Amino acid sequence: MSESARLTAWRLGIIFGALLIVEASVRAGWISSFFLAAPTRAVAVLWQQLVYGDALLLTGITLFEIAACLAIATVFGVAAGFLLWRYKVVGTGYEMLLAALFSSPVILAYPIFLVTFGRTSAAVIALSSLFGLIPIIINTKGAFQNVNPILLQVGASMNLTRQQLFRHILIPAVAPTIFSGFRLALTYILKSVLGLEYVAQVGGVGMWLSDAAFKFAVEEVYAGLFGTITLSILFLYLINRSEGWFRR
């Protein structure tokens, strides 16, 4: 068994072991089912909601919002990061501003977005895109800035055109750092989208979690949490696959 397969087996073993402990504790009454749902019951409720309830529609809404935020943040973030690297005076001037904005509680501006865009998915997408935009800009600028000059010299010695230099040297060199920014952006986008749906009661998985919590439907709450974890794994898998394609 390879090192990667062994590591994956250990991870899955720890996760399933923890779930088995929780399952046994809830069923034995050591942990109150009012506070924690048995994993099998949560999965059963999730399946029931997907087949007979509105969970599939709500999941589709959240998927659309996350995908839209990630697409907007990627397009504008990579372009802005490249321009900040290309024009070093501008990049130096805005670097501290971006760092300060990244650490500020932008989520507190959600009432402004609700007033501007209405209580719709547009407000969620507009605000959540900002959370993904900043880390992508910072990582893109840093990626181009830290490219080894020797690689560029090798490309120049081979008489590569600017397009060839960009495609065959710059893109593979900056891809790992930029995709790290994508993963970080996805984390913030997920939290922002679900949080805004929860607080503002805008249609999606977050609204489902809010309704379930209001009704004290513990099993539905944990079913929604399982669903959000699945969405996160799906998007991370797609990002990792995309990184492998770009680095070829």
Torsion of Cα atoms, 239 then 244 then 246 then 248, to 10°:
180
**Tokens 């001037």, located at residue:** 93
Q: What is the pLDDT of residue 246?
A: 62
Instruction: List the CATH code of the domain at 53-246.
Output: 1.10.3720.10
- In angstroms, the CA 22 to CA 3 distance is 29
Tokens at 179, concatenated:
């995709």
- In angstroms, the CA 236 to CA 230 distance is 10
Q: What is the pLDDT of residue 244?
A: 67
Q: What is the pLDDT of residue 76?
A: 92
Q: What is the pLDDT of residue 243?
A: 66
Q: What is the pLDDT of residue 247?
A: 59
Let me know: does 72 contact 125? Beta carbons within 8 Å: yes
Cβ-count burial of 168 within 10 angstroms (0-12 exposed, 13-18 middle, 19+ buried)? middle
Q: What is the pLDDT of residue 217?
A: 76
Torsion of Cα atoms, 18 then 59 then 113 then 140, to 10°:
70
Q: What is the DSSP letter of 160?
A: -
Q: What is the pLDDT of residue 248?
A: 61
Tokens at 221, concatenated:
């709450």
- In angstroms, the CA 246 to CA 92 distance is 28
Q: How many CB atoms lie within 10 A of CB 36?
A: 15
Averages of pLDDT over runs of 10 residues in the chain (248 residues) are 72 80 79 75 78 79 88 91 84 76 76 84 88 88 83 74 77 82 86 85 80 78 79 77 66
Q: What is the pLDDT of residue 75?
A: 92
The helix/strand/coil state of 195 is: helix
| Extents of the domains making up the chain | 53-246
